[in-house]
């Protein structure tokens, strides 16, 4: 009985996540049809994210430590993960700097 309830809850959660993903993809497209100029701002933001990832990917190493070879991690995956981590660190740093700047500038107003 308990196993059936857990399976139902997991399937229900998957369905809800699927609905959320569809809404996240479809609703901005509907809004973009109404106002195509808003799509330009989103494209610029997405382009900046891809540029940051490209720089981070180019700077990351493709070295694989021996303990990760057992998990079938190759040089390509290692470089991709390094690029993602570096991108996350850069964006986290930018967010912290912008928060500090905002608070300091508000303090002097």
Same domain for 104 and 65: yes
**Paired tokens of 16:** 């809800």
Same domain for 48 and 17: no
Amino acid 72: pLDDT: 87
Amino acid 95: pLDDT: 97
**Paired tokens of 39:** 């799509």
Amino acid 55: pLDDT: 96
Amino acid 1: pLDDT: 58
Q: Tell me how many domains the chain contains.
A: 2
Q: Which domain covers residue 24, as residue numbers? A: 1-34
Same domain for 93 and 41: yes
Buried b (16+ CB within 10 A) or exposed e, 63-82: ebeeeeeeeeeeeeebbeeb
Altogether, the residues listed in the chain come to a count of 109
Amino acid 4: pLDDT: 81
Amino acid 87: pLDDT: 96
Same domain for 94 and 42: yes
Amino acid 2: pLDDT: 73
Which positions of the chain have pLDDT values less than 70? 1
Q: Is the dihedral of CA 59, 65, 70, 71 positive or negative?
A: negative
């Amino acid at each position: 009985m308990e196993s059936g309830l857990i399976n139902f809850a997991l399937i229900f959660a998957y369905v809800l996540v699927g609905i959320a993903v569809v809404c996240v993809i479809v609703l901005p497209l509907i809004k973009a049809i109404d106002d195509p100029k808003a799509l330009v701002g989103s494209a610029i933001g997405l382009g900046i994210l891809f540029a940051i990832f490209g720089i981070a990917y180019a700077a990351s190493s493709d070295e694989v430590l021996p303990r990760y070879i057992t998990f079938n991690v190759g040089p390509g995956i290692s470089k991709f993960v390094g690029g993602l981590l570096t991108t996350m660190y850069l964006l986290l740093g930018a967010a912290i700097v912008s928060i500090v700047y905002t608070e300091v500038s508000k303090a002097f107003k």
